[in-house]
Chains A and B, each alone.
Chain A
Amino acid sequence: EAGVTQFPSHSVIEKGQTVTLRCDPISGHDNLYWYRRVMGKEIKFLLHFVKESKQDESGMPNNRFLAERTGGTYSTLKVQPAELEDSGVYFCASTPSVGDRRSSGRAHEQFFGPGTRLTVL
Chain B
Amino acid sequence: AQSVTQLDSQVPVFEEAPVELRCNYSSSVSVYLFWYVQYPNQGLQLLLKYLSGSTLVKGINGFEAEFNKSQTSFHLRKPSVHISDTAEYFCAVGGTSYGKLTFGQGTILTVHP
Chain A residues near B (Cβ < 8 Å): 3-4, 31, 33, 35, 41-45, 48, 50, 56, 58-59, 91, 93, 95, 97-98, 107-110, 112-115
Q: Which chain B residues (59-76) contact chain A, with CB distance < 8 Å? A: none
Inter-chain contact A114/B100, CB cutoff 8 Å = no
Known: A43-B90, A114-B43, A115-B43. A108 touches B98 (CB 8 A): yes
- Chain B residue at minimal CB-CB distance from A31: B98
Q: How far is the CB of A115 from chain B (nearest CB, A)?
A: 6
Known: A98-B98, A108-B98, A109-B46. A42 touches B41 (CB 8 A): no
Checking B49, B94, B103 against A42 with a beta-carbon cut-off of 8 angstroms, the contacting residue is: B103
A sample of 30 inter-chain contacts (CB < 8 A) reads A3-B43, A4-B43, A33-B100, A35-B101, A35-B103, A41-B105, A42-B103, A43-B92, A43-B106, A45-B102, A48-B98, A48-B99, A50-B98, A56-B100, A59-B100, A91-B43, A91-B44, A95-B98, A108-B49, A108-B51, A108-B97, A109-B46, A110-B46, A110-B101, A112-B36, A112-B43, A112-B44, A113-B43, A114-B41, A114-B43
**In the bound complex, how far is the Cα of B34 from the Cα of A93, in angstroms?**
14
Q: How far is the CB of A67 from chain B (nearest CB, A)?
A: 14
> Is B28 engaged at the interface, CB distance under 8 Å to the other chain?
no
Inter-chain contact A108/B32, CB cutoff 8 Å = yes
Which residues from B are CB-within-8-Å of A113? 43
**In the bound complex, how far is the Cα of B43 from the Cα of A115, in angstroms?**
6
> Is B84 engaged at the interface, CB distance under 8 Å to the other chain?
no
Inter-chain contact A42/B32, CB cutoff 8 Å = no
Which residues from B are CB-within-8-Å of A31? 98
Instruction: Beyond A56-B100, A115-B43, list 9 extra A-B contacts (CB 8 Å).
Output: A33-B101, A41-B105, A42-B104, A45-B100, A45-B102, A48-B98, A48-B99, A108-B32, A108-B97
